[in-house]
Structure formats: structure tokens, C-alpha cells
A and B are shown apart, each in its own frame.
Chain A
Amino acid sequence: MKSEEYLQKKKNLYSWVLSFPTMAWLVFFFLIPYIIIIIYSFLQTDIYDVKAVFSLDAYREVFSVEYLRSFYLSFRLALISTIVCLLLGYPAAYLIARSSEKIKNILLVLIIIPFLTNFIIRIFSWRIFLSPEGILNNLLIYFKFTESPLMLIRNDFAVILVMVYVYLPYMILPLYSNIEKMDFSLLDAAMDLGANKLKAFYKITLPLSKDGILAGSILVFIPALGAYIIPQLVGSQDSLYIGQIITYKIKNIPRNWPLASALSLILLLFISVLLVLFYFLHIKFKEKMVELDEN
């Protein structure tokens, strides 16, 4: 008995020793940087750096109309692209999940290949496709849909389009792995009991794939909130997203690191609230499932 306790103690010590390097690494390069962001947000700005003087300037500036608009734009982008990804991704994921083993693999590879192409290049390819002298405009003119080229790029529509394009696989893959595990005999049972296809879908398939929907939505929504490069390459300079503002304030002179820090903290806070919310939704859903099981 005593030796078992000793063994467990030794095992725990092992675990501490083994996890120490990574823990220390993440504390130093992941947690401490956030503390520095908090400190910097309370300092005074300098053109290149910060002055070590306490100041609330950054927080006074944060709530100006300009930045609130950027937050709104980013939120809108995240919401719309999540919804569009879900609407396109769900049927696609469903088809993959219900295909035969061989076709399933082919379809999955088809979804994953563009995903492995460099992110910047995928965005750039849309720029070529949509540009005023690009292929789409040439086609539109050729088929007499329009006389002069349309401005398809450098607007919010292009930003949403490319966002959906880049993040669609992030929605499809978790949805697929969720739907694949689903017990489809439940559907047959419901239909034997007289439910029509639509009703069976709303009452059974959709609730059962809630976890996949939540996971996919998080994977699209959160990166979309912090988007920088997509609005930078295909968006308009008249509507700046929050990721662009933060990047400009860090990189472009005159810099304003305290302001960038304060904006980052607000973004972080918003995401944290969202994640906590998601977490409770998830827990609540699990409880509900257990209740259903017991009944």
C-alpha cells in the first residue's frame, strides 16, 4: 500500500518535470506577453515606442466613433461569414459523411487540398479573379452583362466572400466529424413513426449536430474577428476592420502602442466572454442529452 503511494508520488514528480519545459515556455511566451499588453495600455505613447508614464489616454481614445465602427465592421464580418459558411458547409459535410468509404476519402481530400495552399496566395488569387481587368469582369463584359468593368474588389462584399472562401474548410471538417458519428438509424425510426424528412431533420439531425455546429462556428467566428490580411488585400481603405487598426498602430509610424494594446484587450475580452458563453451552451446541451437518455 505504502509503496503504491510512493509510486504515485514519483509518477507525479515525473509529470511535473516532463511538463515543466512546455509550461515555462507557454507562460513566458504566451501569458506574460498579455500582461505586457495590459501594462502598455496604461502608458503614454511615443512615435516609436512608449513613455513609461501612467496615462489613460488609450482608453479615452478607444471609445471614439472611428474605432467603435471598426469593431462593428469586424463583428458583422464574423457573423455573416459564420452564417454563410454554415449554410454552405452543412450540406457539404452531410454529403461527405453519408458517402461510401471510398468516395468519402476522395471528397475529404478535395476539401483539404485548397486548405494546404498558402493563405496569402489564396487571397491573392481572388484579387486577380475579381480585379477590374480580371477574368470575371472580362466574362461579364463579353456576355454583355455590363459595359464597363464592375468594382468587385476593394469593398466589404469582397472581404466577406474571401473570408468565407478561406474559412469554409474550418467549418466543414468539424461538422463532418460530428455528423459521421451520428446514429442514422434514429432518422429511419423517426420516419417509420411518420415524421417527414424535414421534420426528422429539424428534430433529430440538427440537434444532434449541435456540437459540430458550435465547434465550426468558433473556428470561423473568432479568426474573422481579428482578420487583418483579408480586408487589407481585398477590402476598402474607407472601412477599416479592427485587425487593420491594431496592426497599423503597432507597425506604422506614428505608432500608438498603448492604443493598440487597449484595442487588443477589448478584442480579447470580447472573445473570452464569447468562449465562456459557448462553453455553457455546450454544457447545457450535454445535460439535456443526458436527460433525454434517461427518459
Chain B
Amino acid sequence: MKTKKNKSNIFNITTFTFVIIFLYIPILLLVIYSFNDSKFISSWRGFTFKYYGLLFKNKDIINSFKNTMLIAVLSTIFSTILGLVSALALENKKFKGAKFFQGLIFIPLIMPDILMGVSLALLFSFLKIKMGMLTVLFAHITFCVSYSIIVIQSRLEGFDYNLIDAAMDLGANKRQIFFKIQLPLLMPGIIAAALLTFTLSIDDFMITFFTSGRGFNTLPVYVEGAIRRGTITTINSLSTLMIGLALFFVVISKRIRKYLFNL
């Protein structure tokens, strides 16, 4: 009996270890090779920071980084506000439009990126809107809003309505109830939604690829173009920085949550 249990456990641990190695090896190698003093990836020619220096001199990279951040911040703000408002609307269980609305929120989540990209590209060309920053922003809000609604909704589900009754009994008015009770209690959900949409926005390639014009690049679109053109030298170091940024982001968001909400 005991040996059998161990056997299946060993199998699970082996698979898990394999999965972890599989997930990390390419990324680790990329990081190591970003310090390689060679134009080609094949051979190791010694340690260098050269390509990191080149990176900060590259105007295209700096520009597309700024664009990525601008789009991410704006789409996070818009979709979190829309998400909060919609989640509050859906709180009403007798709301007649709820079924249609929920469907409208869920379907974009499962559709492949390419379909949303194609359909938005055709929409903008049909309306003769010039592709650029605005079209990318519209597209990002469109794919982010469903995520923020769902995250905030899941927080609302555990909401203790007795608190509102208690506040009303104590003479609080509607505005006070919203700003002093509901909003602070919803804050962790709102922040989680904002973090999620921010990550989704900076990571998106496909939809941005279809909705950005020639003059407007985000970082993922720039990186893809650089890989395609074969201008590879700075890509390793850029990737390493982006991985670092992602890690930093994870730590920070955890700290924020811990600090503010003891989560």
C-alpha cells in the first residue's frame, strides 16, 4: 500500500520537474546569452554589457516602449472603470438584460485573438479610421474589459450585504455607503483587475499587430518585426529586461496586496 502511494507520487514529481525544466530552460538560456559578446548565438565569446548599452540608444525601442506603457495605462484605466460599473449593474439579480450582457462579456474571452484582430482591422478600415494609437487603444479596451468585469464580479460575489443594511440603519446615505463601504471592500478586486488588464495589454501581440498602423508600434510588435528582419543583436538583452520587468511586477503587486490588504 505504502509503496504504491510512493510510486504514483514519484511519477507526479517526475512529471512536474520535467514541466518546470521545460518551462524554464529556454528563458534561462536567453538571459545567459544576452551577456554574450558575439553577434551570433552559436558561440560564447565572453561576458559583455555591450548590447544593453545599444538598447538604450535605439530610438525605435525607446519609442515602442513608451507606446506600450501609454496604451497599457490608458486601457487599464478605461477598462477598470467600465468593469466596475458593469459589475455593479450585474449585481442586481433581477436585471432583465443580464443574460445578454453576460454572454457579451464571456464570448470575447474564448474567441481566438486572430478573429478579434481581423474583425477590428476590417471595422476600422470600413469606417475609414486611420490606424494608429487610437485604434490600438480601442482594441485593447475591447479585449481587456471582459477580464476586468469578471475579476471584479468574483469579488462582489463574496460581498456581505449585511454591512450595507447596518450602515443604513445607522443613517448613512447612498453615497456614503458606496464610497465608505462598497468601494473600499471592492478595492482588492479592482486592483487585481487593473493588474490583470495591464499585463494583458503589455503582452498583446496579435490584436495590436492588426490594429496598429505603420507609425505606431508597441514593444511586442517591434520585437516580432526585429526577429523577422533578423536584427537580432539587441533582442536578447531586450528580452532579458522584459523578463526582469515582469518579475519585478510580480513581486511589486504581491507586496502592494500584502501591504494594503493583508492578502
Binding site for B on A (CB under 8 A): 8, 11-12, 14-19, 21-23, 25-27, 29-34, 36-37, 40, 49, 88-89, 91-92, 94-96, 107, 109-114, 116-122, 124-129, 131, 133-135, 138, 165, 168-169, 172, 196-197, 218, 222-223, 225-229, 233, 243, 246-247, 250-251, 257, 260-261, 264, 267-268, 271, 275
Interface residue? B183 (CB, 8 A): no
- Tell which of A26, A119, A226, A228 touches B142, judged by Cβ atoms closer than 8 Å: A26
Q: A179 → chain B, closest Cβ, in Å?
A: 11
- Give A31 to B24 CA distance when docked, in angstroms: 39
Q: B82 → chain A, closest Cβ, in Å?
A: 5
Interface residue? B70 (CB, 8 A): no
Q: B31 → chain A, closest Cβ, in Å?
A: 9
- Give A119 to B110 CA distance when docked, in angstroms: 18
- Give A193 to B210 CA distance when docked, in angstroms: 59
Q: B133 → chain A, closest Cβ, in Å?
A: 16
A-chain residues with CB within 8 Å of residue B114 when the two chains form the complex: 226, 228, 243, 246-247, 264, 267
User: In residues 207-244 of chain B, which contact A (Cβ within 8 Å)?
Assistant: 209-210, 219-220, 223-224, 227, 235-236, 239, 242-243
- Would you call B199 and A168 a contact (CB within 8 A)? no
Q: B69 → chain A, closest Cβ, in Å?
A: 14
Q: Which residue of A lies closest to B222 (CB)?
A: A120
B-chain residues with CB within 8 Å of residue A29 when the two chains form the complex: 120, 123, 138-139, 141-142
- Would you call B118 and A49 a contact (CB within 8 A)? no
**Interface pick from B45-53, B97-105, B165-173:** B97-105
- Would you call B94 and A94 a contact (CB within 8 A)? no
A-chain residues with CB within 8 Å of residue B82 when the two chains form the complex: 21-22, 25
- Give A116 to B251 CA distance when docked, in angstroms: 12
Most buried by A among B29, B118, B210, B220: B118
- Would you call A119 and B85 a contact (CB within 8 A)? no
Most buried by B among A96, A125, A246: A125
Chain B 123-145 near chain A by CB (<8 Å), digits 1 or 0:
10110000000000011011001
A26 and B108 in contact (CB under 8 A), knowing A19-B90, A118-B246, A121-B243?
yes
Q: Which residue of B lies closest to A228 (CB)?
A: B114
B-chain residues with CB within 8 Å of residue A129 when the two chains form the complex: 25-26, 29
Q: B91 → chain A, closest Cβ, in Å?
A: 8
A91 and B142 in contact (CB under 8 A), knowing A116-B250, A168-B23, A197-B5?
no
- Give A225 to B114 CA distance when docked, in angstroms: 10
Interface residue? B33 (CB, 8 A): yes
Given contacts A19-B97, A36-B122, 14 further A-B contacts (CB under 8 A): A14-B89, A16-B95, A26-B105, A30-B107, A91-B12, A117-B243, A118-B219, A124-B223, A126-B26, A128-B26, A134-B42, A197-B8, A218-B110, A243-B112
- Give A243 to B235 CA distance when docked, in angstroms: 25
- Would you call B227 and A22 a contact (CB within 8 A)? no
Q: Which residue of B lies closest to A112 (CB)?
A: B250
B-chain residues with CB within 8 Å of residue A261 when the two chains form the complex: 118, 122
- Would you call B15 and A91 a contact (CB within 8 A)? yes
Interface residue? B159 (CB, 8 A): no
Interface residue? B260 (CB, 8 A): no
- Tell which of A114, A128, A196, A218 touches B23, judged by Cβ atoms closer than 8 Å: A114
Q: B153 → chain A, closest Cβ, in Å?
A: 12
- Would you call A117 and B246 a contact (CB within 8 A)? yes
- Give A124 to B239 CA distance when docked, in angstroms: 9
- Would you call B104 and A125 a contact (CB within 8 A)? no
Interface residue? B13 (CB, 8 A): yes
A-chain residues with CB within 8 Å of residue B15 when the two chains form the complex: 88, 91-92, 95
Q: Which residue of A lies closest to B110 (CB)?
A: A222
User: In residues 172-223 of chain B, which contact A (Cβ within 8 Å)?
Assistant: 199, 202-203, 205-206, 209-210, 219-220, 223
B-chain residues with CB within 8 Å of residue A134 when the two chains form the complex: 41-42
Q: B145 → chain A, closest Cβ, in Å?
A: 6
A-chain residues with CB within 8 Å of residue B138 when the two chains form the complex: 29
Q: A105 → chain B, closest Cβ, in Å?
A: 11
Q: B159 → chain A, closest Cβ, in Å?
A: 16
- Tell which of A26, A36, A114, A128 touches B104, judged by Cβ atoms closer than 8 Å: A26
Q: Which residue of A lies closest to B227 (CB)?
A: A124
Interface residue? B156 (CB, 8 A): no
- Give A161 to B149 CA distance when docked, in angstroms: 33
Q: A91 → chain B, closest Cβ, in Å?
A: 4
- Give A128 to B38 CA distance when docked, in angstroms: 14
- Give A243 to B236 CA distance when docked, in angstroms: 27
- Would you call B220 and A118 a contact (CB within 8 A)? yes
Q: Which residue of A lies closest to B138 (CB)?
A: A29
Interface residue? B247 (CB, 8 A): yes
Interface residue? B119 (CB, 8 A): yes
